[in-house]
Amino acid sequence: MPKFYIQTYGCQMNVYESGVVRRVLSDAGFAETTDEQEADVLLMMTCSVRSHAEQRALGRLGTFRALRSERAGTVVGVLGCMAQRFGDVLVTNHRADIVVGPDEYLRLPELIASVQAGTTGLVATRQTGESYDAVMLARGPGVKDSRIPMSGTRPLESSNPGILSFVTVMRGCDNYCTYCIVPHVKGRERSRPLASVLAEAERHAASGVKDITLLGQNVLAYRDGARRFPDLLRAVASALPRVRIRFLTSHPRDLDSSLLEAMQRLSNVCPSLHLPVQSGSNPILERMNRGYTREEYLAKIALCRKVLPEVCLTTDVLVGFPSETEDDFKATLDLIEQVRFDFAYMFRFSFRPGTRAEEFGPKVSEADGGRRLARLIEVQNRITAERNRGMLNREFELLIEGPSPRDSGWLGRTVANKVVVVKGRCAPGDVVRCRVTRINGWTPVAELPAREAATC
């Protein structure tokens, strides 16, 4: 049986899409290997959101080429956003055998066969609006992969794909934020039919998954006829009452009370929201084409906390956007202090060729951008630690996901998406109640009471 190896860079959408590729290849008779040395096909799922991610992938492509020269007949393929963005260049300049964009994964078996029959340099990058409805993942793709945290709510990653999973509900984006490459490489918004999402979520649950994240570039743009995202959330949460349901990512402009009310009513929908703010300054938000003002964003945060008092709020922030002044940056810092997010993914702006922001000026110098990012990280880290300290001496229900990679103990997740290191005897999939007894750095640590430990 031919073997494939796949490495994933980027966001949770890419992790999910690697799961689609796994399914397509296993249906075609391939077996996955985690040992790149024995693979007949070496694939990488790439990310174009930041140039750093692209540079890492190109470096890794060099390793794949070296493996191919040691093992004649090995196929090297680039998938995902870089495939869409660079196309032929990955063949001519980087000697990939196949280059496959986000809508063409169903063609992988045929493309691999063509390379093995002697035709190399195949590029498949049509944007067809593919939503992979027919590709049902039996369970969630693994969440531990060599990826760059980009957007999400999982600062500590679990390595147990049997407990957590993702189900894509929509793909693509129509928002065209001026800094973002995603609409250019992933195409227009398209949603999966509600029945298809539900069927996949049910299959995950039947295989033992206990925590499902509904995934999309902007899940709040979900449409299936007249049905919107709150309808989908109700359908999935009601069908799987014993499974925790989350979703990612939500555009702040599209958040409204119907979503919050659905979250409040459905007891297994987790009270966590990832709402990328990007900037706290109105002129910058306008140049980013974000579609909301600082005041509107803050009003939505206030509404979230009113309807869901225990909500865990996370965000993405970009500093050093062209024309950002010290006052703009101070407005961002001020918003961060006001909202007191539980966690933030923070980045310095990098120009992405092909986006509108490429033409914007004046550029913020490397030194100013770096200094602002360092200051922002310092402020948010303090707030994250303070918020986690607020968990001290409180009891939480934790879903055990697997061993902690950094401490002896286990990783458990609260319903609000906080990761806690649990000391005691338990196993992946257990749900335990325990008290946070200390904070290590900013990580809450809980001890399993003897009674709980005995039943695990």
Q: Which residues bind ligand SF4 (CB under 6 A)?
A: 173, 175-177, 180, 182-183, 217-218, 251
**CB neighbourhood size of 313 (10 A):** 23
Instruction: Please check whether residue 376 is in contact with residue 346, taking contact to mean a CB–CB distance below 8 angstroms.
Output: yes
Which amino acid does the sequence have at 317? V
d(CA 142, CA 149): 15
> Which residue's CB is nearer to ligand SF4, number 177 or number 436?
177
d(CA 62, CA 64): 5
Query: Closest distance between ligand SF4 and the C-beta of residue 343, in Å?
Result: 18
The residue written with tokens 């325990």 in the block is: 434
> Which residue's CB is nearer to ligand SF4, number 217 or number 380?
217
For residue 228, what are the CA distances in angstroms to 191, 231, 271?
10, 5, 19
> Which residue's CB is nearer to ligand SF4, number 25 or number 177?
177
> Which residue's CB is nearer to ligand SF4, number 96 or number 180?
180
Phi, psi for residue 436 in degrees, rounded to 5: -75, 120
Query: Closest distance between ligand SF4 and the C-beta of residue 177, in Å?
Result: 3
Query: Closest distance between ligand SF4 and the C-beta of residue 85, in Å?
Result: 14
Query: Closest distance between ligand SF4 and the C-beta of residue 345, in Å?
Result: 12
Query: Closest distance between ligand SF4 and the C-beta of residue 95, in Å?
Result: 30
> Which residue's CB is nearer to ligand SF4, number 176 or number 293?
176
d(CA 352, CA 155): 25
Query: Closest distance between ligand SF4 and the C-beta of residue 206, in Å?
Result: 32
Question: Any residues with CB less than 8 A from the CB of 414 and at least 6 apart, and which?
Answer: 312, 396, 397, 398, 420
> Which residue's CB is nearer to ligand SF4, number 97 or number 254?
254
Tokens of 259: 């979503």
Residue 269 per-residue DSSP state: B
